[in-house]
Amino acid sequence: MSFSTMLATMFAGMLRTVGIFLLTLIGSLPLGMIIMFGRRSKNKVLSAIVKGFISIIRGTPLMLQLLVWYFGPFYLFGWSIKGYRFPAIIIGFVVNYACYFAEIYRGGIESMDKGQYEAAEILGYSRSQTFFRIILPQVVKTILPSVTNEVITLVKDTSLAFTLAYQEVFSLAKQISASETSFMPFVVAGVFYFVANYVVAFIMDRIERSMDYYS
């Protein structure tokens, strides 16, 4: 296989990797907020269930979770999993990262001074207005470094899609390397992950700078 052919093949895998990354972010960021609200619910039963679910997700490997999401419907309900590979990957990634984001959100919200809630109530703000207009903007600024770390980790974790034999960039690198007895595919994959992480770090740094109100 020529170098240009290898690059073209791996480029297709890179696009699939980017697809996993973007769909995971789109799904997990808002879902994490919903899970966080469940975790902080005054309903003790709901809060306990969500807390237990988060503990399970954070306490087990993402690779195992992907296998459960993919094979679970077949073994538990006898459903056909034909064509279910990519949806299972996205569900697994979204749920996993949503739980991590939920805990980041919760930590940010609970770090806010309770006096701000009292001041907002005196000024006539409703609970929703207080949260979205006063608390949330501060929380976003506070948690941004932690979110950045998770997003960078996500770029690298996309390689775990190989668990379900999905042809993303890492899977293709392994296949081409084995068939061609060459280390070059791993170098190309490594460059891709490095560049992708650099771009993510650059964008998140720009966002963080834009929220530096005191500069």
Q: What is the CATH number of the domain that holds 83?
A: 1.10.3720.10
Residue 151 has pLDDT above 60, yes or no: yes
What's the whole-model pTM score?
A: 0.89
Residue 68 has pLDDT above 90, yes or no: yes
- The pLDDT value given to residue 153: 94
**Which value, to the nearest 10 degrees, does the dihedral of the CA atoms of residues 134, 31, 36, 196 take?**
-80
Position 101 in a domain: yes
Position 189 in a domain: no
Residue 16 has pLDDT above 80, yes or no: yes
- The pLDDT value given to residue 5: 84
- The pLDDT value given to residue 134: 80
Return d(Cα 11, Cα 195) in angstroms, integer. 14
- The pLDDT value given to residue 213: 56
**Poorest-confidence range of 8-22, 131-145, 151-165?**
131-145
Position 89 in a domain: yes
Position 188 in a domain: no
Residue 204 has pLDDT above 70, yes or no: yes
51-63: per-residue pLDDT in tens?
Answer: 999 999 999 999 9
- The pLDDT value given to residue 178: 86
Position 193 in a domain: no
- The pLDDT value given to residue 180: 80
Quote the mean pLDDT of the chain. 89
Position 67 in a domain: yes
Range of the domain at 63: 20-166
Q: How many domains does the chain have?
A: 1
83-115: per-residue pLDDT in tens?
Answer: 899 999 999 999 999 999 999 999 988 887 777
Return d(Cα 20, Cα 97) in angstroms, integer. 12
Residue 43 has pLDDT above 70, yes or no: yes
Position 205 in a domain: no
Residue 29 has pLDDT above 90, yes or no: yes
Position 212 in a domain: no
